[in-house]
């Protein structure tokens, strides 16, 4: 059962611009959070430099009885899958898939829609605020799972045509265009439901800061709107925004993993943790070939765990009352 | 709140963590040991599954519990086109003739029949003890009503023209040219004649198909909207319960004219879950052998070997090539593709030898099957040469292989073929999934270049595979394949009255068809079943027949 | 309930109408304007003819222009007729959806009671016993469990309980069979630590408020202070959490249903989307949206009753 995270927990009444430098010190003092950061660093480096880190071509199949579902060995560290592909290399490339996906969602849904619309609604108020918040309300009212499934299912039958068109119009090869189209579809299915939460947090923060004396003073002194947004509102909003994002990171990445598990997200031959796990997920299969499920799920479980730890640590720092006194 | 309660709660949370840690620990440690060899059988053999004889209860009583498929259509004989629904329809309804466990035509409602010397008129004599499920009598009028109902355009039966089109008057009725089917005449309550347009050696086989099954006029017209939920038929079983995605329960028809079933009821569980595990836990009577266990169970190394049954399916799966669009309008390209699917390897490695490599189009259990027919063997060198001789040697267009999928996953088999073509021919084939409705729609418009498909037998005659599917004028021919020589052979076979000669003609047509490679047959599916020892007389029929009336449960 | 509350509720309900209307138009358009119609899946591939397709389109009302279709659908929907299922051709959408929703909701409610029944006391205790081992234990448990996807957790647990230990069967045999215990525990236990964490945090956020201090200084017993002043106010965020998980009850849990073969509504949603089964998708979306709107209104009412000081409409930012 999903427990809806209450936005209130992350809300503070007053921005604390002066305390920003304190952050880093406190964060560095938290051992668990540092472990999480270290793991994330490894994960991201491995994903970004996947071609260097991987030992095999992740799509290279070797269809033979000997190569099929072999356990770990010095040749295949994490063993092989049904088609004789190297699971370690597929995991490395799956990390890359996760990184690209979360990055795309963060930029579009988080920064562009969440931060942008939140600031706009909070600072400008009026009908803009009403409109943005109502659209958010409508989106929040839709059943996320069904909608995400429906969007991906509706588009997956057009993947080939879209990618052929794209390959014709650009310098991309068909394979690259295909991968890109798949990413666009799944990002497009996630983003509409990913921005509402952070826009709400940003908006209520911006509302509070707008009323603070130094902001009204700056307004009275004739500072321009972009200047006020950039100098006063944005720095005040940022900490909570970042906390919200890092706490929500596992959820965003999890959406792709879940959809791919169902075969509606990133599909083979492109690796994704979802399609890697789906190959090994079954009680009977697990009994005989535990390496497939273990090695393809642990890296991403730790990824989620690390982001959860980090998000939790950031909440702690920002809102010390919540966890620790 | 007392401290004791809190300690308990803390314990619960701590337990969770420990459980997760323990599971992963056990698996990681255990996994390390097992992974040296790939003989996947050993972990299975060393386990001690509960012995079936001590099975708690499922072998007592006469209730057979089997995993079932959700019907894709309604329990109306004239609407059925899919295997998942006909499995139930053949048990509930019956027609003039039926197919027995040896796949021979035998009388159902009819006890005997005469064929006129010109082969065009069939006179059926009905049994005198035939009853509907509600104990009303079945007469020749009911048979005529049912066939006319099938042909009524208002009922939009998708199958009536293909299976009963040879009956004089069916097409007239279907196109609204006539109010009745002139070829079906009631002589008296127990006598019926059917006149054909042209003589046909496989007409009785066609009559075993559900579209001509007998329904009860009173019920169908009295409750037009809901009658298919508890349909009144003449078959060995009646529908007692149907809960979508949960269960279908059929109970026995005590007064069934071919002998009452020995089982009291058959319970089809539609829920899914892990069938093999449920079989071992004695929750169901029939299970499927998981592919990874097949070797162990077949080889006799498993305690389950004694319960194992392999039942070939009268079906063929294949890759369909559209001979009207590039690049498959060039036979050399088609042949090159056919020669570069390593079916032996795919079957052995990906399917654990589950299927049989299809060395021809007709499955081996089909009457008229000839071993001499052969499809192309794996030969990448020759394929490469053919490709270089083809008109697309240097300008190969993009190729998409479409497949219908109601689940999300890409089948490994298709990925393996894709890789095979890339490796052997240097051609990148893109896979495209379509939901089943879109797949059918696109296929009809003839847009596919290539598609993964399959066909399973409706009745045991080669005509069902070759004539229905690949005649140049057949509406089901989605390959666009048209070869005058094949068409002439099929035409000749259709009206030929000597069975031996017909089979010979089909064999010739099939070989030409294989050589032209408009389709690439891949596998003949096989069902690998586990049947509890207390289930006796399970018919090893390779097609959908009313089989549950033969089965009994005997405690040992 | 004062007059202010009544007026506010009326505004809320009135506002819900256009929201639901927009959702219904949008979803209807997405579902119905897509190329193709259910006729393709009904007729099957083998013996399609245009005339038959036309007949079926007329029968199911797919030959009308979209606005007419929408109007008909809306009229039926408002009378409780959800339409027909094209995937299960013999059944109406009502017959498909309602029994399955009942199964999912029953499981969900049992799980919800367990989750909050355990989570709230643990959270209160954790807040009072600050600094004990329970603190980091609870938090890291939650963070870890939250990181394990169901589709990894379930096969492993099934393997352990059913295959290795032989304790349970894996089939669905109705809500009364003992087989159902494992899915219920899987639905409830992983969420306990999360609830406890939120409960703990909200207790801590009120425990030092002025009115609590005042109550203490008046010499009230500590237990009285905790239960009348602290817990009451700390329940406010809990109400949001509980309220927002209510619409989810009718949505089911996809992976639990998939792995345990439970014929619930989440599985039906997936199958309906993949088929596609138009009316079922529409109905599921609308029911879920309506429940969401209703849950939000209920949350507001609950807030107003528990804490009259809460200014309506701003209760949840």
Q: At A298, which CATH number?
A: 1.10.3720.10
**CA-atom Rg of chain C in angstroms:** 24
Phi-psi region of B272 (alpha: psi -120 to 50; beta: other; left: phi over 0): left
CB neighbour burial string for B217-233, b if at least 16 within 10 angstroms, e if fewer: eebbeeeeeebbebbbb
What span, in angstroms and rounded, lies between the C-alpha atoms of B509 and B483?
A: 10
B412 and A82 within 8 Å at the Cβ level: the answer is yes
DSSP letters spanning A229-275: IIIIIHHHHHHHHHHHHHHHHHHHHHHHHHHHHTTSSS-TTS--HHH
Quote the longest CA-to-CA distance of chain A.
78
CB neighbour burial string for B362-385, b if at least 16 within 10 angstroms, e if fewer: bbebbebbbeebebbebbbeebbe
Structurally, chain A folds into a number of domains equal to 1
How close A171 comes to chain C (CA, Å)? 30
A283 and B350 within 8 Å at the Cβ level: the answer is no
How close C34 comes to chain B (CA, Å)? 11
Q: A268 at the C interface (CB within 8 A)?
A: no
Contact criterion met (CB below 8 Å) for B522 and B354: no
Across the interface, which of B277, B342, B433 has its CB nearest the CB of A284? B277
Q: Position of tokens 């709400």?
A: A200
Rounded alpha-carbon distances, angstroms, from residue A92 to A52, A178, B64, C61: 10, 20, 49, 51
Mean pLDDT computed over every residue of chain A: 83
Residue B22 in this model has a pLDDT that exceeds 90: no
Across the interface, which of B12, B162, B278 has its CB nearest the CB of C47? B162
Q: In degrees rounded to 5, what are phi and psi of residue B481?
A: -70, 130
Partners of residue C62 in chain B, C-beta under 8 Å = none
The pLDDT of residue A24: 64
Q: Position of tokens 């100098």?
A: A231
The pLDDT of residue C192: 86
Contact criterion met (CB below 8 Å) for C107 and C262: yes
B437 and C118 within 8 Å at the Cβ level: the answer is no
Q: A325 at the C interface (CB within 8 A)?
A: yes
Q: What is the mean pLDDT of residues C52-71?
A: 79
The pLDDT of residue B24: 47
What span, in angstroms and rounded, lies between the C-alpha atoms of B85 and B269?
A: 14
Nearest 10 degrees: Cα torsion A70, A95, C190, B283: -30
CB neighbour burial string for A203-231, b if at least 16 within 10 angstroms, e if fewer: bbbbbbbbebeebeebeeeebeeeebbee
Q: In degrees rounded to 5, what are phi and psi of residue B529?
A: -105, 155
> What DSSP designation does A62 have?
-
B412 and A287 within 8 Å at the Cβ level: the answer is no
Contacts with C, A 158-217, CB within 8 Å:
200-201, 203-204
Residue A20 in this model has a pLDDT that exceeds 60: no
Contact criterion met (CB below 8 Å) for A277 and C152: yes
Residue B556 in this model has a pLDDT that exceeds 70: no
**CA-atom Rg of chain A in angstroms:** 22
Cβ neighbors of C8 (< 8 A, separation 6 or more) are C300, C312, C313
What span, in angstroms and rounded, lies between the C-alpha atoms of B211 and B408?
A: 33
Q: What is the mean pLDDT of residues A168-192?
A: 88
* Residue A207 belongs to some domain of the structure: yes
Q: Give the bridge partners for B248, in sequence order.
A: B242, B268
Q: B292 at the A interface (CB within 8 A)?
A: yes
The pLDDT of residue A2: 35
Partners of residue C144 in chain A, C-beta under 8 Å = 305, 308
C317 and A308 within 8 Å at the Cβ level: the answer is no
Q: In degrees rounded to 5, what are phi and psi of residue C11?
A: -60, -45
Which one of B436, B437, B458 makes the best mutation probe of the C interface by having the most chain C beta carbons within 10 Å? B437
Quote the longest CA-to-CA distance of chain C.
86
Which one of A98, A149, A150, A277 makes the best mutation probe of the C interface by having the most chain C beta carbons within 10 Å? A150
Contact criterion met (CB below 8 Å) for B119 and B200: yes
Which of A13-17, A236-240, B329-333 shows the lowest mean pLDDT across its residues?
Answer: A13-17
pLDDT digits (tens, 9 = 90+) for C188-206: 888 888 888 888 888 887 7
Q: C52 at the B interface (CB within 8 A)?
A: yes
Q: Give the bridge partners for B107, in sequence order.
A: B97
Partners of residue A118 in chain C, C-beta under 8 Å = none
Partners of residue A1 in chain C, C-beta under 8 Å = 108, 111-112, 115, 187-188, 191, 245, 248, 253
Q: Please work out, in degrees rounded to the nearest 5, the angle formed at the alpha carbon of residue B219 by the alpha carbons of C279 and B221.
A: 70
Measured over the CA atoms of residue A89, residue A94, residue A99 and residue A101, the dihedral's sign is positive
The pLDDT of residue C33: 65
Residue A319 in this model has a pLDDT that exceeds 50: yes
Across the interface, which of A5, A258, A325 has its CB nearest the CB of C204? A325
Q: A13 at the B interface (CB within 8 A)?
A: no
**CA-atom Rg of chain B in angstroms:** 27
Residue B5 in this model has a pLDDT that exceeds 80: no
In which domain, by residue range, is A264 found? Answer: 22-324
Rank B17-21, B407-411, B483-487, C241-245 by mean pLDDT and report only the highest: B483-487
What span, in angstroms and rounded, lies between the C-alpha atoms of B311 and A264?
A: 34
Closest CA to B150 of B211, B64, B236, B204: B211
Confidence of residue B82 (pLDDT cuts 50, 70, 90): confident
B273 and C55 within 8 Å at the Cβ level: the answer is no
Q: What is the mean pLDDT of residues B66-76?
A: 86
Cβ neighbors of B476 (< 8 A, separation 6 or more) are B162, B468, B469, C46, C47
Q: B198 at the A interface (CB within 8 A)?
A: no
What's the token pair of residue C192?
Answer: 């306990």
CATH homologous superfamily for the domain C97-268+290-306: MetI-like (1.10.3720.10)
B398 and A156 within 8 Å at the Cβ level: the answer is no
The pLDDT of residue B161: 82
Partners of residue C134 in chain B, C-beta under 8 Å = 10
* HSE value, Cβ hemisphere, 13 Å, CA-based, for C46: 21
Q: How many other C-beta atoms are found inside a 10 Å radius of the C-beta of residue C297?
A: 17
Confidence of residue A303 (pLDDT cuts 50, 70, 90): very high
Q: How many other C-beta atoms are found inside a 10 Å radius of the C-beta of residue B75?
A: 25
Partners of residue A5 in chain C, C-beta under 8 Å = 198
How close B434 comes to chain C (CA, Å)? 9
Confidence of residue B363 (pLDDT cuts 50, 70, 90): very high
Which of B20-24, B76-80, B474-478 shows the lowest mean pLDDT across its residues?
Answer: B20-24
C317 and A321 within 8 Å at the Cβ level: the answer is no
The pLDDT of residue A11: 41
Across the interface, which of C155, C162, C191 has its CB nearest the CB of A3? C191
Comparing B299 with C5, which gets the higher pLDDT? Answer: B299
How close C15 comes to chain B (CA, Å)? 37
* Residue A180 belongs to some domain of the structure: yes
Contact criterion met (CB below 8 Å) for C90 and B74: yes
Strand ranges (E), B305-446: 308-312, 315-321, 356-357, 399-404, 429-434
Q: In degrees rounded to 5, what are phi and psi of residue B205?
A: -60, -45
Residue B411 in this model has a pLDDT that exceeds 60: yes
The pLDDT of residue B339: 95
Across the interface, which of A267, A278, A287 has its CB nearest the CB of B43? A287
Across the interface, which of B27, B408, B410 has its CB nearest the CB of A294? B27
Contacts with B, C 112-141, CB within 8 Å:
118, 121-122, 124-125, 134, 137-138, 141
Contact criterion met (CB below 8 Å) for C267 and C257: yes
Instruction: Give the residue on C whose Cα is nearest the Cα of A275.
Output: C151
Phi-psi region of B377 (alpha: psi -120 to 50; beta: other; left: phi over 0): beta
Confidence of residue B12 (pLDDT cuts 50, 70, 90): very low
Which of A25-29, A210-214, A234-238, B228-232 shows the lowest mean pLDDT across its residues?
Answer: A25-29
The pLDDT of residue B555: 79
Which of B151-165, B174-188, B239-253, C232-246 shows the lowest mean pLDDT across its residues?
Answer: C232-246
Confidence of residue C290 (pLDDT cuts 50, 70, 90): confident
Which of B189-193, B532-536, C33-37, C254-258 shows the lowest mean pLDDT across its residues?
Answer: C33-37
Which of B441-455, B533-547, C195-209, C276-290 shows the lowest mean pLDDT across its residues?
Answer: C195-209
The pLDDT of residue B147: 95
What span, in angstroms and rounded, lies between the C-alpha atoms of A303 and A299?
A: 6
* Residue A9 belongs to some domain of the structure: no
A68 and B35 within 8 Å at the Cβ level: the answer is no
Comparing B389 with C126, which gets the higher pLDDT? Answer: B389
Phi-psi region of C28 (alpha: psi -120 to 50; beta: other; left: phi over 0): alpha
Q: A180 at the B interface (CB within 8 A)?
A: no
Mean pLDDT computed over every residue of chain B: 84
Instruction: Give the residue on B whose Cα is nearest the Cα of A70.
Output: B38
How close C138 comes to chain B (CA, Å)? 7
Q: Position of tokens 């459980």?
A: B19
Residue B421 in this model has a pLDDT that exceeds 90: yes
What span, in angstroms and rounded, lies between the C-alpha atoms of A38 and C309?
A: 46
Comparing C157 with A140, which gets the higher pLDDT? Answer: C157
CB neighbour burial string for B138-158, b if at least 16 within 10 angstroms, e if fewer: bbbebbbbbbbbbbbeebbbb
Contact criterion met (CB below 8 Å) for B513 and B285: no
What span, in angstroms and rounded, lies between the C-alpha atoms of C107 and C264?
A: 9
Please, where in chain C does CATH 1.10.3720.10 lie?
Answer: 97-268+290-306
The pLDDT of residue B362: 93
What span, in angstroms and rounded, lies between the C-alpha atoms of C18 and C3?
A: 24
Nearest 10 degrees: Cα torsion A149, A151, A152, A154: 110
What span, in angstroms and rounded, lies between the C-alpha atoms of A173 and C77?
A: 48
Closest CA to B555 of B285, B233, B311: B285
Partners of chain C (3+ Cβ pairs below 8 A): A, B
> What DSSP designation does B406 have?
S
In chain B, the percentage of residues whose pLDDT exceeds 70 is 88
């Amino acid at each position: 059962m999903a427990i809806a995270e209450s936005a209130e927990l992350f809300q503070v009444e007053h921005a604390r611009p002066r305390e920003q430098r304190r952050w880093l010190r406190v964060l560095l003092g938290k051992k668990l959070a540092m472990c999480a950061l270290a793991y994330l660093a490894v994960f991201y480096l491995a994903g970004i430099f996947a071609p260097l880190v991987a030992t095999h071509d992740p799509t290279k199949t070797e269809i033979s009885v000997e190569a099929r579902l072999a356990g770990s060995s010095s040749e295949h560290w994490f063993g092989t899958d049904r088609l004789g592909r190297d699971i370690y290399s597929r995991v490395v490339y799956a990390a890359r898939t996760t990184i690209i996906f979360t990055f795309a969602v963060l930029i579009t849904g988080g920064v562009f829609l969440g931060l942008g619309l939140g600031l706009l609604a909070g600072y400008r108020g009026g009908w803009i605020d009403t409109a943005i918040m109502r659209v958010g309300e409508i989106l929040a009212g839709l059943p996320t799972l069904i909608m995400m499934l429906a969007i991906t299912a509706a588009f997956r039958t057009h993947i080939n045509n879209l990618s052929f068109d794209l390959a014709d119009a650009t310098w991309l090869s068909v394979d690259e265009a295909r991968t890109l189209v798949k990413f666009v579809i799944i990002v497009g299915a996630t983003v509409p439901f990913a921005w509402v939460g952070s826009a709400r947090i940003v908006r209520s923060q911006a509302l509070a800061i707008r009323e603070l004396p130094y902001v009204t003073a700056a307004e009275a002194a004739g500072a321009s709107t972009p200047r006020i947004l950039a100098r006063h509102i944005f720095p005040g909003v940022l900490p909570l925004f970042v906390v919200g994002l890092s706490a929500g990171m596992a959820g965003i990445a999890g959406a792709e993993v879940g959809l791919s598990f169902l075969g509606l997200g990133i599909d083979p031959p492109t690796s994704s943790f979802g399609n890697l796990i789906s190959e090994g997920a079954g009680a009977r299969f697990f009994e005989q070939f535990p390496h497939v499920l273990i090695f393809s799920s642990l890296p991403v479980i730790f990824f989620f765990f690390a982001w959860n730890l980090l998000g939790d640590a950031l909440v702690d720092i920002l809102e010390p009352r919540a966890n620790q006194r | 709140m007392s401290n004791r309660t809190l300690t308990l709660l803390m314990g619960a949370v701590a337990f969770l963590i420990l459980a997760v840690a323990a599971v992963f620990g056990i698996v990681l440690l255990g996994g390390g040991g097992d992974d040296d060899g790939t003989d996947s059988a050993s972990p299975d053999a060393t386990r001690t599954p509960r012995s079936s004889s001590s099975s708690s209860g499922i072998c007592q009583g006469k209730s057979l519990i089997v995993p079932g498929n959700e019907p894709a259509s309604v329990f109306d004989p004239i609407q059925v086109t899919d295997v998942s629904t006909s499995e139930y329809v053949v048990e509930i309804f019956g027609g003039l003739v039926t197919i027995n466990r040896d796949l021979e035509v035998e009388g159902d409602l009819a006890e005997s029949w005469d064929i006129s010397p010109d082969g065009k008129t069939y006179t059926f004599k009905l049994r005198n003890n035939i009853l509907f499920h509600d104990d009303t009598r079945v007469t020749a009028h009911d048979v005529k009503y049912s066939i006319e109902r099938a042909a009524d355009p208002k009922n939009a039966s998708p199958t009536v023209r293909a299976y009963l089109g040879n009956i004089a008057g069916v097409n007239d009725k279907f196109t609204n040219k006539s109010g009745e089917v002139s070829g079906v005449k009631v002589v008296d309550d127990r006598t019926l004649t059917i006149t054909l347009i042209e003589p046909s050696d496989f007409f009785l086989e066609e009559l075993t198909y559900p579209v001509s099954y007998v329904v009860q006029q009173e019920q169908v017209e009295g409750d037009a909207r809901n009658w298919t939920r508890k349909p009144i038929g003449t078959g060995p079983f009646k529908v007692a319960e149907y809960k979508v995605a949960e269960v279908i329960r059929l109970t026995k028809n005590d007064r069934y004219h071919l002998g009452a079933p020995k089982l009291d009821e058959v319970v089809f569980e539609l829920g899914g879950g892990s069938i093999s595990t449920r079989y071992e836990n004695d929750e169901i009577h029939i299970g499927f052998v998981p592919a990874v266990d097949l070797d162990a169970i077949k080889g006799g190394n498993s305690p389950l070997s004694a319960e194992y049954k392999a039942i070939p399916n009268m079906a063929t799966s294949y890759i369909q090539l559209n001979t009207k669009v590039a690049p498959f309008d060039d036979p050399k390209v088609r042949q090159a593709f056919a020669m570069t699917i390593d079916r032996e390897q795919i079957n052995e490695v990906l399917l654990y030898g589950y299927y049989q490599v299809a060395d021809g189009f007709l499955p081996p259990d089909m009457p008229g099957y000839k071993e001499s027919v052969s499809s192309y063997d794996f030969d990448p060198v020759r394929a490469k040469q053919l490709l270089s001789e083809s008109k697309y040697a240097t300008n190969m267009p993009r190729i998409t292989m479409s497949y219908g999928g109601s689940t999300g996953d890409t089948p490994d088999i298709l990925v393996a073929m894709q890789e095979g073509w890339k490796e052997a021919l240097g051609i990148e084939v893109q896979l495209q999934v379509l939901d089943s409705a879109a797949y059918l729609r696109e296929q009809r418009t003839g847009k596919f270049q290539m598609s993964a498909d399959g066909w399973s037998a409706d009745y045991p005659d080669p005509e069902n595979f070759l004539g229905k599917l690949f005649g140049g004028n057949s509406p089901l021919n989605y390959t666009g394949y048209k070869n005058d020589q094949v068409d002439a052979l099929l035409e000749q076979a259709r009206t030929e009255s000597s069975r031996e000669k017909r089979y010979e003609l089909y064999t010739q047509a099939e070989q030409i068809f294989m050589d032209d490679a408009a389709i690439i047959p891949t596998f003949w599916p096989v069902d690998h079943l586990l049947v509890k020892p207390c289930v006796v007389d399970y018919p090893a029929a390779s097609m959908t027949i009313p089989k549950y009336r033969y089965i009994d449960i005997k405690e040992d | 309930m004062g007059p202010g509350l009544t007026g506010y509720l009326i505004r809320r309900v009135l506002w819900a109408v256009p929201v639901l209307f927009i959702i219904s138009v949008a979803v209807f358009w997405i579902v119905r304007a897509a190329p193709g119609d259910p006729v393709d899946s009904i007729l099957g591939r083998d013996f399609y003819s245009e005339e038959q397709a036309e007949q079926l389109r007329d029968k199911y009302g797919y030959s009308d222009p979209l606005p007419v279709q929408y109007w008909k659908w809306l009229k039926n929907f408002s009378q409780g007729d959800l339409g027909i299922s094209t995937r299960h051709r013999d059944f109406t959408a009502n017959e498909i959806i309602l029994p399955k929703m009942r199964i999912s909701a029953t499981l969900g409610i049992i799980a919800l009671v367990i989750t909050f029944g355990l989570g709230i006391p643990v959270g209160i205790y954790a807040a009072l016993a600050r600094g004990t081992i329970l603190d980091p234990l609870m938090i890291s448990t939650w963070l870890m469990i939250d990181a394990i996807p169901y589709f990894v957790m379930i096969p492993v647990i099934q393997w352990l309980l059913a295959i290795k230990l032989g304790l349970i069967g894996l089939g669905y045999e109705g809500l009364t069979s003992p087989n159902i215990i494992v899915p219920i525990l899987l639905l409830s236990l992983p969420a306990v630590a999360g609830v406890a964490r939120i409960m703990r945090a909200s207790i801590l956020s009120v425990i030092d408020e002025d009115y609590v201090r005042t109550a203490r200084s008046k010499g009230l017993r500590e237990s009285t202070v905790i239960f009348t002043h602290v817990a009451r106010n700390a329940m406010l965020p809990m109400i949001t959490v509980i309220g927002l998980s209510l619409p989810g009850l009718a949505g089911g849990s996809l992976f639990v249903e998939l792995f345990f073969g439970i014929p619930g509504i989440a599985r039906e949603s997936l199958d309906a989307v993949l088929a596609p089964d138009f009316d079922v998708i529409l109905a599921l979306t609308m029911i879920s949206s309506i429940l969401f709107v209703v849950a939000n209104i209920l949350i507001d009412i609950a807030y107003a009753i528990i804490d009259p000081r809460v200014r309506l409409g701003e209760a949840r930012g």
